[in-house]
Chains A and B, each alone.
Chain A
């Protein structure tokens, strides 16, 4: 299993869990926020729980909500790596 989640995979997760179609370019923009994409906090939680279930890790969501997408992915990936 890949030990890092790519922007492509994140875009797919957002589409399936939050119902929002986003481009990789938009996601990779350093200032990109989930709310700007139309993904609310419950949508972010859905993405997060999907990652947790898939990689068998536990990620503290309280630090992640409201953060830019790039920071979110960085934190999630370091948890995934640490847990793998």
Chain B
């Protein structure tokens, strides 16, 4: 390319197991599970019983009142994560060159809680009682818009609507913007799909786990896998050109080295094998990373037998014999799947794993009949130079992102 290299310099996390990268990493390392019975008003009689809930999140701590009244919880999460990432990278808002900073997010669930409240006003009191902010708060583009308005970021902003894998695609989009000349991009995804309306929207997913026991509800790759549970939260990152970052004294945490996305159709898990394999090959090729140079895999880990098998086979197709040696993990087994936020949280986990030389374990799952070296129980230490992060969407998107530890 032109010598520009996209690196992550800031990590901001709002997750069921911790707010802020430090708390998040601590919980991941210990394999602590945050899955819990859903105890929210209006959710009591739905067949979905377990999720990863973000507790103790004080939106006012991160979001000014004028934005709070305009936005749904999913945007509160995204704005909070963006603040945390910027603080981590020491990147200021209202930069000297507003066109040098951009925002890219992905979202799938949108502002369900806000929207439900306004629709209830509509039916109970009439159209005059629907607030004008309904026009923007539900919209999946709301987080990009509000983060860019708040920070005064006028660079090439965007929203990726590509299913759950969009959480990875947003980072790839950011890396391409950086390669084309943008100084910094706030990129990532956060979702808040655990509210009555949003939950009803998910009930049709065949892979959804309706188990009542948080210990058993989501056991990806296990022989007793019973589907997946949803989660809320997500992660935002500061992505910058490496040289520009170093010049301003920022520390490159991980290089976004390669990415490819494919599409193989909704719930066609068998076919996702080929699509995911193609995505992995593309990401490795772009990163100039040989298959046996992959040091850890953060798996999509849907928890549906056929999908788990397809993912394991896709890894074997590309990595060959190396698949028996490379540690594979799915920390999201202890968090649930925050839709587009899920792969963003995996990227945060991968960045921290590269830094600490430690692969966090997969909670809950006890065995793995798919021929993978799944890390369970305890974290595993190792020299990690690269991390492969995988994501598939329920609607058929497959995506692979390769991160590399930067030179010191």
Contact = CB atoms under 8 A, between A and B. Distances in A.
Interface of A: 15-21, 38-39, 42-43, 45-46, 49, 52-53
B128 A19 contact: no
By secondary structure, the A interface counts as: helix
Contact of B135 (A38, A42, A52): A42
Contacts of B131: 17, 46, 49
A15 B65 CA distance: 9
Interface residues of B, number: 14
Interface in B67-86: 67-70
Interface string B150-174: 0000000000000000000000000
B128 A42 contact: no
Contacts of B64: 19
18 contacts: A15-B65, A18-B69, A19-B64, A19-B65, A19-B66, A20-B65, A21-B65, A38-B66, A39-B66, A42-B133, A42-B136, A43-B132, A46-B131, A46-B132, A49-B129, A49-B132, A53-B128, A53-B129
A18 B65 CA distance: 8
By secondary structure, the B interface counts as: helix
Contacts of A53: 128-129
Nearest to A49: B128
B189 to A, nearest CB: 25
A16 B65 CA distance: 9
Nearest to A53: B128
A42 B136 CA distance: 10
Contacts of B66: 18-20, 38-39, 43
A63 to B, nearest CB: 17
A50 B64 CA distance: 22
Contacts of B69: 16-19
Contacts of A38: 66
Nearest to B65: A19
Contacts of A39: 66
A26 to B, nearest CB: 15
A65 to B, nearest CB: 11
Nearest to A44: B132
